[in-house]
């Protein structure tokens, strides 16, 4: 069957759109069956068991959400997704069907406010990225029975290519009435704080995030005396809490009316606490980079010592630490780049001894090493470490002003 649907902003004919939704539903059913087949058990089953917890209880909605996320986004050992393997193995698919399926690798996960119903579609505002989505269900209009304007949908959307600007519900759909707006806004704020990348479907939010991060970095450098620090864990917590307190005081000084209205956190609000793996480290490196944002690294002082004195490569704990920094996906290339740039006279020796490659030079081979060890970092364009939420979510959350959420990565330790 050929799929021929043009720009969704023009009249393309109801039958064409209906055919596209029907075919998408067929393909999704086949894709789900493929993703739940025995060939993927070794990856999907642990995800379901982890979600079920020790009591082995998992409700249907959560199970559907996990399976859908696995099929669309989970990276298998070779870097492919279930969708990639499905498309590769189906030689009977038309080019349009391949385009439709591969577009599902970039879903929009969100918390959506129902703006209005429009025939078989609903128009949704994503509270995370502040964009509207004209959305259909493969179950037709009946799927939105009981969904009212002003209510909220927690779901995932996939594009209905080639019908630009048209989206399809994927996986579970959870509805909450308008009366739950406060709780929904709190959940959306928490989601943005934990997964800032969800706002970046909106290009404007990317630029806002970069600008806010530049401002935050300048303030951090001014307050802390630099963009790279190595301190004991307790000193890091003390400094960061002092810094955030300073920022709150500055915000209150600029907007005293908001402070009186309770829309700024109190000065005694506990702003920062290191997670246990960092709190137990001998030292913590704090780097506020202009691209990678604010990051924390366990035992960074020991790693810096290695670059200061390459003879330490003879010690097992120093070798293991550098290998961890090279191996772990939770650690981007930033700290190694920083140390190599700060110690050009010793970096070659460190890596020659660690890798047992006498001809290794950082200038010639360093970037290649990082790309080989950390391909995930180079797989996508850099994103700001700060997200600014949209006006509507700000209103629902009672902020009355744009709010930001910092993304602080942290290094692992051996």
The 10s digit of each residue's pLDDT in 234-272 is 999 999 999 988 888 887 777 666 555 555 455 455 567
Confidence (pLDDT) at 13: 43
Tokens of 108: 């929009």
Query: What sign for the dihedral angle of Cα 392, 398, 401, 403?
Result: negative
Average pLDDT, the chain: 87
Residues 141 and 289 in one domain: no
Confidence (pLDDT) at 363: 96
Q: Which long-range contacts (CB under 8 A, 24 or more apart) does 362-369 make?
A: 366/337, 366/340, 369/326
H or E stretch at 288: strand 284-289
Residues 261 and 287 in one domain: yes
Confidence (pLDDT) at 140: 85
Are the beta carbons of 19 and 1 closer than 8 angstroms? yes
Beta bridge partners of residue 166, listed in sequence order: 134
Separation between Cα atoms, residue 62 and residue 171, nearest integer Å: 10
| 162 preceded by a cis bond (ω within 30 of 0) | yes
> Rounded mean pLDDT of 349-377?
95
pLDDT in tens, 188-203: 988 888 888 888 888 9
> Rounded mean pLDDT of 110-138?
94
Confidence (pLDDT) at 271: 63
> Is 160 among the domain residues?
yes
Q: How confident is the model at residue 7 (pLDDT cuts 50, 70, 90)?
A: very low
Q: How confident is the model at residue 360 (pLDDT cuts 50, 70, 90)?
A: very high
**The domain boundary residue, chosen from 177, 195, 213:** 195
Residues 236 and 261 in one domain: yes
Residues 127 and 248 in one domain: no
> Rounded mean pLDDT of 79-93?
94
Residue 33 has pLDDT above 50, yes or no: yes
**Burial tier of 270 (Cβ tally within 10 Å: 0-12, 13-18, 19+):** exposed
Are the beta carbons of 260 and 318 closer than 8 angstroms? no
Residues 185 and 275 in one domain: no
DSSP-assigned letters across all residues of 237-256: HHHHHHHHHHHHHHHHHH-H
Confidence (pLDDT) at 6: 37
Residues 177 and 243 in one domain: no
Residues 300 and 363 in one domain: yes
pLDDT in tens, 370-409: 999 999 899 888 888 887 888 899 888 874 444 555 555 5
More confident residue, 412 or 166: 166
Cα 194 versus chain centre, distance: 8
Separation between Cα atoms, residue 325 and residue 258, nearest integer Å: 43
Residues 154 and 232 in one domain: no
- Phi/psi of residue 176, each to 5°? -130, 135
- Phi/psi of residue 242, each to 5°? -65, -40
Residue 125 has pLDDT above 90, yes or no: yes
Residues 73 and 166 in one domain: no
Query: Could you tell me what percent of the chain has a pLDDT over 70?
Result: 88
Residues 173 and 277 in one domain: no
Confidence (pLDDT) at 45: 94
Separation between Cα atoms, residue 210 and residue 399, nearest integer Å: 21
Closest C-alpha among 261, 268, 227, 260 to residue 244: 268
Confidence (pLDDT) at 200: 86
Closest C-alpha among 247, 283, 288 to residue 267: 247
Q: How many CB atoms lie within 10 A of CB 88?
A: 11
Q: How confident is the model at residue 79 (pLDDT cuts 50, 70, 90)?
A: confident
Separation between Cα atoms, residue 55 and residue 52, nearest integer Å: 7
Confidence (pLDDT) at 298: 96
H or E stretch at 122: strand 121-126
Domain enclosing residue 91, as ranges: 14-103
Confidence (pLDDT) at 387: 79
Q: Nearest-5° angle of CA 268, CA 270, CA 271? A: 115
CATH number for the domain including 159?
A: 2.40.50.140
Residues 181 and 263 in one domain: no
End-to-end CA distance of the chain: 54
> Is 302 among the domain residues?
yes
Q: Please state, in angstroms and as integers, the Cα–Cα distance from residue 227 to each residue in 109, 220, 275, following that order.
A: 33, 7, 21
Strand 404-406 versus strand 293-298 pairing type: unpaired
pLDDT in tens, 291-337: 999 999 999 999 999 999 999 989 999 999 999 999 998 899 999 99
Confidence (pLDDT) at 256: 65
Query: What sign for the dihedral angle of Cα 368, 106, 127, 183?
Result: negative
Closest C-alpha among 155, 75, 150, 73 to residue 109: 155
Residues 233 and 191 in one domain: no
> Is 88 among the domain residues?
yes
**Domain count along the chain:** 3
Beta sheet of 284-289, edge-to-edge order = 228-231, 284-289, 293-298, 409-410
Closest C-alpha among 187, 18, 199, 35 to residue 105: 35
């Amino acid at each position: 069957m050929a799929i021929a649907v043009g720009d969704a902003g023009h009249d393309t004919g109801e039958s064409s759109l209906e055919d596209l939704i029907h075919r998408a539903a067929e393909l999704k059913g086949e894709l789900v069956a493929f993703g739940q087949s025995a060939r993927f058990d070794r990856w999907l089953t642990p995800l379901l068991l982890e979600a079920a917890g020790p009591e082995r209880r998992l409700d249907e909605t959560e199970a559907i959400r996990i399976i859908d996320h696995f099929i669309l986004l989970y990276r298998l050992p070779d870097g492919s997704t279930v969708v990639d393997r499905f498309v590769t193995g189906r030689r009977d698919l038309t080019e349009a069907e391949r385009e439709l399926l591969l577009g599902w690798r970039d879903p929009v996960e969100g918390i959506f406010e129902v703006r209005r119903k429009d025939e078989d579609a609903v128009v949704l505002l994503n509270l995370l990225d502040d964009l509207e989505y004209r959305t259909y269900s493969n179950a037709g209009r009946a799927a939105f029975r009981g969904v009212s304007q002003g209510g909220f949908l927690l779901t995932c959307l996939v594009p209905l290519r080639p019908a630009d600007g048209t989206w399809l519900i994927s996986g579970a759909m959870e509805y909450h009435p308008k009366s739950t707006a406060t709780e929904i806004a709190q959940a959306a704020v928490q989601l943005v704080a934990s997964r800032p990348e969800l706002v970046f479907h909106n290009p404007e939010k990317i630029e806002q995030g970069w600008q806010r991060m530049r401002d935050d970095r300048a303030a951090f450098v001014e307050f802390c005396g630099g963009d790279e620090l190595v301190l004991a864990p307790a000193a890091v917590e003390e400094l960061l809490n002092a810094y955030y307190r300073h920022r709150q005081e500055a915000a209150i000084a600029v907007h005293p009316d908001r402070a009186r209205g309770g829309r700024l956190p109190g000065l005694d609000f506990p702003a920062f606490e290191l997670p246990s793996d960092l709190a137990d480290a001998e030292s913590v490196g704090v780097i506020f980079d202009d691209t990678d944002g604010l990051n924390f690294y366990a035992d960074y002082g020991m790693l810096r010592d290695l670059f200061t004195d390459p003879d330490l490569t003879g010690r097992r704990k120093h070798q293991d630490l550098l290998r961890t920094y090279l191996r772990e996906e939770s650690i981007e290339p930033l700290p190694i780049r920083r140390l190599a740039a700060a110690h050009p006279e010793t970096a070659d020796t460190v890596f020659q001894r660690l890798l047992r490659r006498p001809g290794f030079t950082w200038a010639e081979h360093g970037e290649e090493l990082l790309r080989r060890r950390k391909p995930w970092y180079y797989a996508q364009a850099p994103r700001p470490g700060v997200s600014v939420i949209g006006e509507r979510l700000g209103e629902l959350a009672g902020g009355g002003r744009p709010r930001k959420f910092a993304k602080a990565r942290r290094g692992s330790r051996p």
